[in-house]
């Protein structure tokens, strides 16, 4: 029997109509909008790179495909491989695994939503822990003041997930499911089994509950010192931009910079990193690259702050 476990692949779901951000999304994808100094999609892409994911599928609308290809190319400049597929209609998050079935093949997979931003000092460790688990599922939970708006996780006395309820009137906890999901390869078969909900969508919660019922669901808690931002509304988009701007101006370090993550992962050389800056052509960005390469030689910067 072949017991070889394939390396995990990543999917960024960057489709949808972005109707909550209309009219600024009328002529472009929500995931191409700026969050301070970078396109929104750079943040989930950086999260996957921090987890060690090097094969990535981006699912988007047909009309936005060329824009994403122009921005990200095939990933070679980052030492990774990026593929693209389109969705005709946004029929639920679980649709990602049906669209990406041929891409996933025999590998475990991680799905991240294209409008979700994660940041914090312990994030890298939690990502790598989830990536190292080749069977079952790992989801990330975050405490919020208004859990009734989300999928809420109820825990037993041992701190294990007990139940998941979508938008409950009386939430059993403050911890809600965020837009980052690690699954083993059985997720494709599970996605084929679920039926559309009352909203007419293939719900990711239905798949998560399958893993819960199999007792193979782990939950990573994002607590104090961690940030999870869903940038799907005007207020959230502004808050995310302000958050990134504040930290970057204060620390002099960029957040959600896939080029820097790839370089720190050892996937591209100093020379290739500098060339990316030259290709972008932004003087401030070129100066930043030169500075962090010099600082890195003096071991000033901790990779987990990215």
pLDDT tens digits, one per residue of 47-72:
999 999 999 999 999 999 999 999 99
Question: What's the 3-state SS for the chain?
Answer: CCCCCCCCEEEEEECCCCHHHCCCCCCCCHHHCEECCEECCHHHHHHHHHCCCCEEEEEECHHHHHHHHHHHCCCHHHCCEEEEEECCCCCCCCHHHHHCHHHHCCCCEEEEECCEEEEECCHHHHHHHHHHCCCCEEEEEEECCCHHHCEEEEECCCCCEEEEEECCCCCCCCEEEEEEEEECCCHHHHHHHCCCCCCCCCCHHHHHHHHHHCCCEEEEECCCCEEEEECCCHHHHHHHHHHHHHHHHHHCCCCCCHHHHHHHCCCCCHHHHHHHHHHHCCHHHHHHHHHHHHHHHCCCCCHHHC
What is the distance between the alpha carbons of residues 104 and 98, in angstroms, rounded to a whole number?
10
Contact 247, 130 (CB under 8 A): no
pLDDT at 305: 52
The pLDDT score that the predictor gives to residue 130 is 96
User: Where do the domains of the chain lie, and which CATH numbers do they carry?
Assistant: 9-257 (3.90.550.10), 267-297 (no CATH)
**Residue 3: pLDDT above 70?**
no
Query: What's the pLDDT band for 80 if we cut at 50, 70, 90?
Result: very high
Q: Cα 231 from chain centroid?
A: 12
The pTM score is: 0.92
Residue 2 has a pLDDT of 40
Return d(Cα 235, Cα 1) in angstroms, integer. 53
* Separation of alpha carbons 241 and 238, rounded Å: 5
Question: Model confidence over 170-180: pLDDT tens digits?
Answer: 999 999 999 99
Mean pLDDT of 131-147: 94
Between the alpha carbon of residue 247 and those of residues 60, 96, 97, 241, the distances in Å are 30, 33, 35, 10
The pLDDT value recorded for residue 4 is 46
Banded pLDDT at 129 (limits 50, 70, 90): very high
Between these two residues, 203 and 262, which has the higher pLDDT value? 262
CA–CA separation, 213 vs 249, rounded Å? 46
Average pLDDT over residues 241-256: 94
Q: Give the pLDDT confidence score for residue 283 in this predicted structure.
A: 87
């Amino acid at each position: 029997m072949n017991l070889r476990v394939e390396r995990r692949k990543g999917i960024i779901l960057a489709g949808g109509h972005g109707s909550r951000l209309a009219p600024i999304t009328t002529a472009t994808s929500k995931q191409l909008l700026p969050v301070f100094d970078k396109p929104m999609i750079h943040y989930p892409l950086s999260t996957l790179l921090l987890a060690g994911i090097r094969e990535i599928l981006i699912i988007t609308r047909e009309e936005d495909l060329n824009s994403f290809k122009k921005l990200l190319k095939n990933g070679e400049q980052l030492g990774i491989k990026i593929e693209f597929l389109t969705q005709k209609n946004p029929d639920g998050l679980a649709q990602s695994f049906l669209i990406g079935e041929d891409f996933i093949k025999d590998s475990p997979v991680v799905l991240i939503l294209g409008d979700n931003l994660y940041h914090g000092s312990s994030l890298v460790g939690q990502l790598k822990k989830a990536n190292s688990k080749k069977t079952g599922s790992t989801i990330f939970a975050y405490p919020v003041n208004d859990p009734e708006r989300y999928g809420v996780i109820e825990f037993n006395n041992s701190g294990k997930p007990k139940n998941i309820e979508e938008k409950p009137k009386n939430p059993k906890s403050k911890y809600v499911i965020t837009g980052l999901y690690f699954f083993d390869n059985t997720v494709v078969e599970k996605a084929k089994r679920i039926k559309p909900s009352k909203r007419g969508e293939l719900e990711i919660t239905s798949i998560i509950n399958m893993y819960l019922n199999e007792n193979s669901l782990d939950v990573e808690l994002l607590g104090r010192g961690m940030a999870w931002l869903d940038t799907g509304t005007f207020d959230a988009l502004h808050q995310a931009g302000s958050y990134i701007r504040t930290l970057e101006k204060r620390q002099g370090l960029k957040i959600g910079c896939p080029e820097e993550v790839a370089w720190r992962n050892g996937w591209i050389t100093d020379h290739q990193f500098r060339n990316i800056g030259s290709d972008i052509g932004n003087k401030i960005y070129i100066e930043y690259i030169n500075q962090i390469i010099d600082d890195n030689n003096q071991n000033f910067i901790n990779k987990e702050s990215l």
